[in-house]
Amino acid sequence: MKIITGHGFGNFPIKFENPKICVSFDGKRLLKLEKDEKEDIYFEELSSLIRKWEGHIFGVIGYDFGEWLHGIKRKRRTFNHFPLLSLFFFDDFEPATDFCERPVVKFSGTIFYPKDEEFAFSIKKAIEKMEAREMYVINLSRVLKIKSVRCSSWLDFYLALQRHHTADFSFYMEIGDKVVICNSPELFLKKEGDTIFSEPIKGTLSTSVENGEEFLRNNPKERAENIMIVDMMRNDLNRICVPGSVHVPALFSVKKLPSVYQMFSIVSGKLVSGIDFMEIMIRTFPPASVTGAPKIQVMKNISILEPFKRGIYCGSAFLLKPDKNFVANVIIRVLVVEGGDGFYYTGAGITVDSNPFDEVEETKTKCLNIIPFLNEKLA
């Protein structure tokens, strides 16, 4: 296997290969693999292993792990087949090169699942639930299937994408016959000493819009969506932080990425003494920005309104360092290549004021901006 992290996970891109220990959880068994020997373990043993490990740990937590945590069951179509939880323990690493050759990509066509009209119908149903005060904001997603996709080098593709559309919290992963290319700009959690940070993103606008930064910052719908997610993140951090320490250093900030403006806020707090990594993740997972408010009720509605399981999409990839500080992203803007096809996931935040047509178009815009080689096919 091979993993490369974006510079947001550290001071420079890092490459990991050949983990010493692998741990996975499929919803029933927590399995530890070391030196070709398999062993069933408990979560308490996993926490102990993490505390004692003196190297780096890279992990992927699928959104479906959050459904398992909260007892939400759904039998839906799956486009990416990964464990709910995967951890890889490394005792060394090396800086990753940014050199790449121009990748050559070929594919036979693309199709959205669900289709535009079906996705718009789900949005309308979500708005009806909000009008009935069942929820206040929900993140709904869809999948762009890239049929029979082939690439001369997926690693070169990832490096080229980073060169033209840099994302702080990106990562590349080869595991078995699967490839994951995540171009996420969003920080879920970052621990530095006893301080924890989160930077939820809510609000997207194309850079082609004149005065786009001010337009986005002052858009009532985007501000309402952003503030609700900030309130949710404050609530989540209060579960792991010293009472009274959670605050919002930045609200309605806008950053310009290569092709879109993104509105984000910063929430931070002081961690309670003695809390460990797994406890932090379990108490805050899944990320607020990819669920909605109130979180559990929204997750139940997502399981009804989305016709597929999210898998790793909307989960989190993390890098835990020897000093037990860590960085965890939100897995968005992700392409999964599996079984000869590619699956690119995209979503939109829905509020009671949302226009279904606009939200459908936003999901397309995110595809066009992030995956350059699809531009001609989708135009």
Name the token pair of 163. 């060169």
Domain residue spans in the chain?
2-100+109-378
Query: Partners of 59 in the beta sheet?
Result: 87, 318
Q: Which residue's structure tokens are 């990832």?
A: 158
Range with the poorest average pLDDT among 275-279, 328-332, 372-376: 372-376
What percent of the chain is predicted at pLDDT more than 70? 97
- Residue 240 — very low, low, confident or very high, per pLDDT cuts 50/70/90? very high
Give the pLDDT of residue 48.
Answer: 96
Is the peptide bond prior to 185 cis by the omega test (within 30 degrees of 0)? no
The arithmetic mean of pLDDT across residues 194-223, rounded, is 88
Alpha helix ranges (H) inside the chain: 43-52, 63-69, 116-131, 154-164, 212-217, 220-238, 277-284, 295-305, 356-370, 375-378
Rounded Cα gap, residues 30 and 300, in angstroms? 25
Name the token pair of 26. 């499929």
Q: Which helix (H) or strand (E) holds 91?
A: none
How high does pLDDT run on average in the chain?
A: 91
Give the pLDDT of residue 299.
Answer: 96
Q: Is the pLDDT of residue 64 over 80?
A: yes
The amino acid that residue 101 corresponds to is E
Q: What share of the chain is helix, strand, coil (3-state, %, to 5)?
A: 30, 35, 35
Q: How far is CA 317 from CA 61, 165, 350, 358, 359, in A?
A: 6, 19, 25, 30, 26
Name the token pair of 290. 């990819």
Rounded Cα gap, residues 324 and 48, in angstroms? 13
The arithmetic mean of pLDDT across residues 110-116, rounded, is 94
The topology (CATH level 3) of 2-100+109-378 is Anthranilate synthase (3.60.120)
- Residue 372 — very low, low, confident or very high, per pLDDT cuts 50/70/90? low
CA of residue 186 relative to chain centroid, distance? 8
- Residue 324 — very low, low, confident or very high, per pLDDT cuts 50/70/90? very high
Rounded Cα gap, residues 134 and 139, in angstroms? 14
Query: Partners of 341 in the beta sheet?
Result: 338
Task: Please name which of 366, 232, 221, 220 lies closest in space to residue 298, comparing C-alpha atoms.
Answer: 232
Whether the Cβ atoms of residue 200 and residue 265 lie closer than 8 Å to each other: yes
Give the pLDDT of residue 377.
Answer: 41
3 state DSSP class of 197: strand
Q: 305: Cβ–Cβ under 8 A, 6 or more apart, which residues? A: 122, 125, 126, 138, 140
Give the pLDDT of residue 110.
Answer: 87
Rounded Cα gap, residues 347 and 291, in angstroms? 11
Rounded Cα gap, residues 200 and 267, in angstroms? 8
CA of residue 91 relative to chain centroid, distance? 26
The arithmetic mean of pLDDT across residues 349-377, rounded, is 77
Rounded Cα gap, residues 290 and 173, in angstroms? 22
Q: Which helix (H) or strand (E) holds 175?
A: strand 171-175
Give the pLDDT of residue 370.
Answer: 55
Rounded Cα gap, residues 66 and 62, in angstroms? 7
> pLDDT tens digit string along 267-288?
999 999 999 999 999 999 999 9
Whether the Cβ atoms of residue 65 and residue 287 lie closer than 8 Å to each other: no
Give the pLDDT of residue 11.
Answer: 78
DSSP letters, 245-296, are: --EEEEEEEEEE-SSEEEEEEEEEEEBPTT--HHHHHHHHPSPGGGSEESHH
Whether the Cβ atoms of residue 61 and residue 318 lie closer than 8 Å to each other: yes
The amino acid that residue 24 corresponds to is S
Residue 49 has phi, psi (to 5 degrees) of: -60, -40
> pLDDT tens digit string along 151-164?
989 999 899 888 87
> pLDDT tens digit string along 185-207?
999 999 999 999 999 988 878 78
